[in-house]
Structure formats: C-alpha cells, structure tokens
Amino acid sequence: MALELLAPCPPFDLPGTDDRNHSLAGVKGKLFVLLVSCNHCPYVIAYEPRMVALANEYAARDVAFMAVNANDATRYPDDGLQPMKARARERGFPFPYVRDDSQALVRTLGARFTPEAYVFDEARKLRYHGRIDDNHRDAARVTSHDLKNALDALLDGKDPPVLETTAFGCSIKWK
C-alpha cells in the first residue's frame, strides 16, 4: 500500500555513500524530497542530471533532497553501497544517497518504481507523490514538471496543483 497523502514520513536511519548515517530527524529544510532511486535503471540514469539540477536549484529555497536505493543488491550487485558511492561521486550528487538494505523504508513508502518522488512538508507530512516529470527520454520535451510544480506551490504556501501522479521507470528489485 502506498503512503497516503498527509501521512508522516516513516522514520529511518540509513547509511549513505558519504560513510555517514542519515536519519529523518537529521533532515533540515522547509521541504524534504525523498527520491526512490537506484544505480542501474536506465530511467534513473536519464533523470539523474535533472535530480541534481533540482536539488541545486531548490537548496537555496531550503528544500532538502535525499535519494534512497533499496534494490536487492544480491541479484543486482550494481546497486550495492560501493557502486552507489562511485555513482554519487561521478554524478556529483549534492544530496545524500542512502542504502535501504532491509527495504523497510521503501516498503513503508509503498514505492514501486525508480525513480519515484515523495515530497514532505515542514511537519514531514506527505504532500506530493509520483513522477519527477512526464518525459524521461528528453528533458527538453517535458510538458508537465510535476515535482517542480509541487515544490513551487508548497513554497508559496499552496497545495501542489497535482497531488499524485503515476510514477514510471524500473520496478524496485524486491528481495
């Protein structure tokens, strides 16, 4: 079951590619964007530059980003912590990239795909869930910037114009 709108962000404390643990309590920011991601999915790879650009753009507006990878690293070794470290370094992730090896966080979120975005407000209640935008193939042909629209609305004290969209991408590799 997917986390319902206005439900609180599940607590977590997960190891990151920066060799530190990252917890919900440690997240600072007016808004918190949690991106369910991974290393090997072509959809994620296509979106990574946009994920980085969004995180950089909204950092100045007090929005915290984090990416979490829960894929079964036994079947998909590219999704283990060491390859994640390499990816974070190569792409210059400006946000923590954490490993949910037990898959508990991602299961509680009810995520099914990578990438899948969750936006929590200052009280860490879910305000937007779904895709980043409507065109993973070509950023220039995006017609609906769903995540960006949600962030702009929330930062203006309004509800996101669309609260939920259907995420698409690779399925999460469950254990």
Partner 1 sequence: MSDEGTDPKDAALLRVRKFVATYVAKGKYGLYPEEAVVENVVQGLAENLVAHGRMYCPCADVEDSKSKGSAMVCPCTPHHEDIARQGYCDCALFASRDFVAEERLRKKK
Residue numbers at the binding site for partner 1 (CB under 8 A)? 1, 40-43, 112-113, 136-137, 166, 168-171, 173-174
- In angstroms, rounded to a whole number, what is the distance separating the alpha carbons of residues 62 and 14? 22
CB of 125 to partner 1, least distance (A): 22
For residue 97, which of 29, 53, 48, 144 has the smallest C-alpha distance? 48
Of 20 and 86, CB closest to partner 1: 86
For 12-29, letters b (16+ CB in 10 Å) and e give bebbbbeeeebebeebeb
CB of 46 to partner 1, least distance (A): 10
CB of 166 to partner 1, least distance (A): 5
Which strands form 97-99's sheet, in the order they lie side by side? 97-99, 63-69, 31-37, 116-120, 126-130
CB of 41 to partner 1, least distance (A): 6
Quote the longest CA-to-CA distance of the chain: 43
Q: CB burial class (10 A; 0-12, 13-18, 19+) of residue 46?
A: middle
Q: Please, are residues 161 and 145 in contact by the beta-carbon 8 Å criterion?
A: no
Of 56 and 174, CB closest to partner 1: 174
C-alpha torsion sign, points 96, 140, 133, 172: negative
CB of 174 to partner 1, least distance (A): 5
